[in-house]
Amino acid sequence: MNPWGSLTGLRDLQREMSRLFDGGMTVERTARFPLVNVLSDADEALVTAEIPGVDPANLEISLTKGQLTIRGTIKDAAPAGEDMICHRKERASGPFARTFKLPFEVEEEKISAKYEKGVLAITLPRAEKSKPRSIPVIAG
Amino acid sequence: MNTNETMMSSAPSSAVKENDHPVFLPAADIYESPAGVWIRCDMPGVAEEELEVTMENKVLTVSGTQMGQGREGLETLAGEYLTGVYQRSFGLSRDFDESAVKARMKDGVLEIELPKAKEARARRIPVEA
């Protein structure tokens, strides 16, 4: 299993297709939740995840042996009121967890996470020894 | 009381691209009670000032542009989702009082409340023996 592979799996591909060329009335769901993007440069990695409607107090991020885990629960209740009926329920809710192997060593004590507008952003600074180094070439 | 106030919901037919951003259909929950209709849409990454909620000819349309990710110079190692514009229209079976419609955004979830006018609520008709 390659957790870093992009758009692996037919369902994810279908979902992307329907997001891009939406012709239907349905919102596709994937088994994978939340969806994650990983960005990086020479100094750090940025992991972002779309987790709308979660209470940040119910989010748990942990790092064990180079594996990053995002865990949480989306508590979603019907609006308060009498005789409330539900016509449509497409939004994800309930517990979720995902674990990824990090592509390089990070400074564990310097990891920071921010939850804003339904998007979780985790910044992972690279460990000094894992930063790319350029090797000078000597003409000889 | 089981009248379906909201019928169809669809992305606009010209939905493929808007200003070069891909357009996505936000997942939605729709609830109804005798007091009103509630619609919740998942729109992560959309700032309140980027959000637009309009109602015209019994069609409620929500749209919002997602904020960018990270800073300049970052390279994508793995990409499972794209960012762009969320847009969706909901056909309503009748007009709601626009001035009473409330919309709020919290943690990437848009909640719209459409209160029913008093005269539109179902009335129980007593049956005489």
Q: In chain B, where are the structural domains located?
A: 6-10+21-68+81-112
Cα–chain center distance at B120: 22
Chain A residue nearest residue B8, CA to CA:
A25
Fold (topology level) of A32-76+92-128: Immunoglobulin-like (2.60.40)
Q: Residue A77 has what pLDDT?
A: 85
Tens of pLDDT, residues B47-57:
999 999 998 88
Query: Which segment of A97-101, B1-5, B76-80, B124-128 scores lowest on mean pLDDT?
Result: B1-5
Q: Residue B110 has what pLDDT?
A: 97
Tens of pLDDT, residues B90-113:
998 876 877 889 999 999 999 999
**Mean pLDDT in chain A?**
83
Cα–chain center distance at B70: 27
Across the interface, which of A12, A88, A119 has its CB nearest the CB of B29? A88
With beta carbons less than 8 A apart as the criterion, state whether A30 and A14 touch. no
Structure token pair of residue B103: 């919309």
The shortest C-alpha distance from A137 to chain B (Å) reads: 26
Q: Residue A28 has what pLDDT?
A: 54
DSSP classification of residue A52: T
Confirm whether the ipTM is greater than 0.85.
no
Query: Rounded CA gap, A46 and A38, in Å?
Result: 6
Q: How many CA atoms lie within 13 A of B2 on its CB side?
A: 0
Domain boundaries, given as residue ranges, for chain A: 32-76+92-128
Is residue B119 very low, low, confident or very high in pLDDT (cuts 50, 70, 90)?
low
Query: Rounded CA gap, B18 and B16, in Å?
Result: 7
pLDDT > 70 fraction of chain A, expressed in percent and rounded: 78
Long-range CB contacts for residues B98-101, cutoff 8 Å, separation at least 24: B98/B55, B101/B53, B101/B55
Q: Residue A23 has what pLDDT?
A: 45
Residue spans of beta strands (DSSP E) within B1-129: 6-10, 17-18, 21-24, 28-33, 36-42, 46-56, 59-66, 75-79, 85-92, 102-106, 109-115
Mutation for B interface: A15, A27, A89, A124, most B CBs within 10 A: A27
The pLDDT of A93-121, averaged and rounded, is 93
**Domain B6-10+21-68+81-112, CATH class in plain words:** mainly beta
Residues whose CB is less than 8 angstroms from the CB of residue A95 and which lie 6 or more positions away in sequence, other chains included: A71, A72, A73
The shortest C-alpha distance from A5 to chain B (Å) reads: 6
SS (H, E, C) A105-122: CECHHHCEEEEECCEEEE
With beta carbons less than 8 A apart as the criterion, state whether A48 and A119 touch. yes
Tens of pLDDT, residues A3-48:
444 444 555 555 555 555 544 444 555 678 899 999 998 899 999 9
What strands, in cross-sheet order, belong to the sheet with A112-116?
A112-116, A119-125, A44-50, A36-40, B75-79
Higher pLDDT, B54 or B13: B54
The pLDDT of B24-48, averaged and rounded, is 94
